[in-house]
Structure 1
Amino acid sequence: MMPEALWPVAERDFVVTGEFGNSPGYYAQFGQLGHNGKDIGVWLGTPVYAMYDGEVVFEGWGQNHPWMGGIAGICVLLRHWWGYTGYAHLSATVVNIGQWVGKGQQVALSGDTSSSGAGSTGPHLHAETLPLAPNFLNGFAGRVNPASIAAFVGFAGTPSPAPVPAHSVPLIPERSPMLPVSGSSTALPQKIPADGRHHLLLRKDGKVTRKRNQFAAGPCEMTHRNVAIRATAKPGAVLTVSICRYDSDNSETVIDRVELPANERGVVRALIPVTEKLEAGQGLYLRVRATADATVTLYKFRGFKQR
């Protein structure tokens, strides 16, 4: 009889963005037959819980453990009587090696870390399972489909706060001078895949860090200022743009969320108003999710008053 386990997040946070075995072409570069776990698209700082009773055999940066590797970023590995569970791309852990944890006990906070510079295109939790004697030549680095080793009967933890509801803003006609086609962009166009994730919109040199891609940093105060988005996608595609704030403790808060539909030519042009007071150590950046593959450019408008 299979052990009865819990998915490692609350039910409301359980949005699957990657299944076991997905994307064999992409994972061939790592010598794998496909994705070796389940990806859950949670925001930074979402509580992560133990799928089953067990002992913490590792916590920390993945490059310091031979099974996890640098691509896992900050991670936790638990040993159970029937196998192992792993939790990757975390922002922080709340357990110690050798500690015993109960099923449903918090072990970490989700994140988007990866010391290899790959693997985390947006905040998500990578959850994986291994048998007690992993076959590291099985094409999935020893991992197995979670459904093949445990029966998942529910969800752990309490729900995160209700997400900020998305709203619309007026779109700008394509020929309007309010948003030039070129000339005021602060970034190169960025491709956003339709994979269900909230991708960090890059502004600088392509490095996926929030601080390098902020469009405002504290201390400052914004009153009715704007950032602008120009994008191309399939006609009728919808971009969800989230304005996010990071704090000095590395937590992330979504302060506003806007839905932008592409017109009949597949073009999106919009000004997004921002009103926010930032303290030292805080900054604002954008995340974008698309219902179809899109190319997005961020424009920064003047008007942020330094305090």
Structure 2
Amino acid sequence: MPTFGYFLSTEEHGPKELVRQARLAERAGFEALWISDHFHPWLDEQGQAPFVWSVIGALSEATSLPITTAVTCPLQRTHPAIIAQAAATSAVLTGGRFRLGVGTGEALNEHITDPSWPSAATRLDMLEEAVHLIRELFTGRLVTHRGTHYSLDTARLYTLPERPPPIYVSAFGEKATRLAARIGDGFMCVQPDAGLLKTFAAEGGAGKPTAGGLKVCWADDAAEGRHTVKRLWPTEMIGGEAMQLLQLPRHFEQLAELVTEDMVDVPCGPDPRTHIDALNAYVEAGYDEIYVNQIGPDQVPFFDFYAEQVLPALNGGAAASPGNGSVP
């Protein structure tokens, strides 16, 4: 039976609010956490982008749930050695509850230290080398590395967990999925695509955990939910390579002008069946872990709604008594 978790959005919420939501999620019966890793939000309207590693430190004390970055890009903005140190420290703080989710990232976040943006094929090659380097540092040995993309001189991690944190690899296409199967301890995706899971298993990922994520918008009615999605996350309706190539929130805002409320395909409103069906699409695709993010400010009623009406109806969902919103 799959695990159902909550997806914390650093693009939309500040650090203290993210910690509050994590507590609400645990109280509502969610069993794990994803957290995004951004330098910029997708849109200025979203309004936030706290440093994920500081938030993870706070989360380690605020909840007992496993935490996975969804996802960190160890390619350009932050050297893989620094990611290795941050991940190792997070694993120590959480008592082994941390997992490093990695991917090839977006120019939106990565261009800030280097305006050049490598091709997709080059980024996959960089990711493979970065993951290799991170794993070498997780051994605690002294590491010197002269690779195609990265160099490291006599570096050693001294603060290490008992076991290295697992590395999950995010993928959206066939090539990236094959790489994830080869180098990852698990697979991550935000599409209920059974075909990608089959590719992952066939290319060496059989038996490794798979995790999927989606966004929803609980609201008093579906129309209100669609309005909130259009305001805060019109990027959910933007496909293709633009999500990886555009550099600034204003570029996404310009593109989002083409999105109308009628185009919103995120589960919206107060009907539990709408939410259950969306989550069951990931169950039927074969994911082991499924993470859901609530769009907008209505977090307390969302968690109450899921605790009372959604999680109990899902295969393997374990709901707690609904919270009262008093989490500080």
The two structures have a TM-score, normalised by structure 2, of 0.25
Larger RCO of the pair (alpha carbons < 8 Å, separation 6+): 2
The structure that has the greater radius of gyration is: 1
More helix by share: 2
